[in-house]
Amino acid sequence: SNNVAGELGHVTAMAQGAERPCVCGKTNCLTKFISLEALEADYGKPYGQLVEDVRRKEPKAVALIEDVCAYLAPILANVIILLDLDRIILCGCTVEHFESIIYPCLDRKIRKLLSYWVSFKRLEIHTNVKITAISSRFLLDYYFSTESDIRL
């Protein structure tokens, strides 16, 4: 009804320590923990330096990206359970720059949070593609996988 479906930036993240006020009026919105600005503030260095330090496997930098997963995993797990999803699409520069950490970390954390009857098979992170292309592919996959059930 508000044209923000799928936007997880302002769901409440469960955080340890001080509350982080958000421009939306709430505190501890997910965006206050995983946005570029939040990462720069937490790391104390520019985002580009964080990217470079993660490439060099600096422990503090890698730990910060793992923290992103700790904030994001419970939220995604709840969405997966509520909507009975079998895939998720994550996009943005943070996913692209840190895919080698984010994908396995989220996959591991999300699986621990899901019940055995959830049909979640695999977390797919797509990068360098347009969301419309991905949406079209999923729509076609759905159509052709259920073609016999469709009555025209």
Q: Provide the CATH number for the domain around residue 121.
A: 3.30.420.40
| Burial 44-73, CB ≥16 within 10 A → b, else e | eeebeebbebbeeeeeebbebbeebbbbbb
Bigger pLDDT: 48 vs 143: 48
What are 52-66's pLDDT values in tens digits? 999 999 999 999 999
131 pLDDT exceeds 80? no
Cα(80)–Cα(73) distance, integer angstroms? 10
The mean pLDDT value for 28-51 works out to 94
User: How many structural domains comprise the chain?
Assistant: 1
137 occurs within a structural domain: no
41 pLDDT exceeds 60? yes
What are 76-122's pLDDT values in tens digits? 989 888 887 777 777 777 888 898 899 889 888 988 888 766 655 55
> Based on the number of CB atoms within 10 Å of its own CB, is 88 exposed (0-12), middle (13-18) or buried (19 or more)?
middle
Tokens of 25: 């009026």
Per-residue model confidence (pLDDT) at position 42 = 95
36 pLDDT exceeds 90? yes
For residue 61, what are the domain limits? 31-127
Q: Which of 4-8, 29-33, 120-124, 137-141 has the lowest mean pLDDT?
A: 120-124
Instruction: With residue 93 as reference, give the H or E element that holds it.
Output: helix 93-113
Per-residue model confidence (pLDDT) at position 150 = 52
Per-residue model confidence (pLDDT) at position 123 = 54
105 occurs within a structural domain: yes
Per-residue model confidence (pLDDT) at position 56 = 96
Per-residue model confidence (pLDDT) at position 152 = 46
Identity of residue 66: E
Cα(95)–Cα(107) distance, integer angstroms? 13
20 occurs within a structural domain: no
Cα(58)–Cα(68) distance, integer angstroms? 16
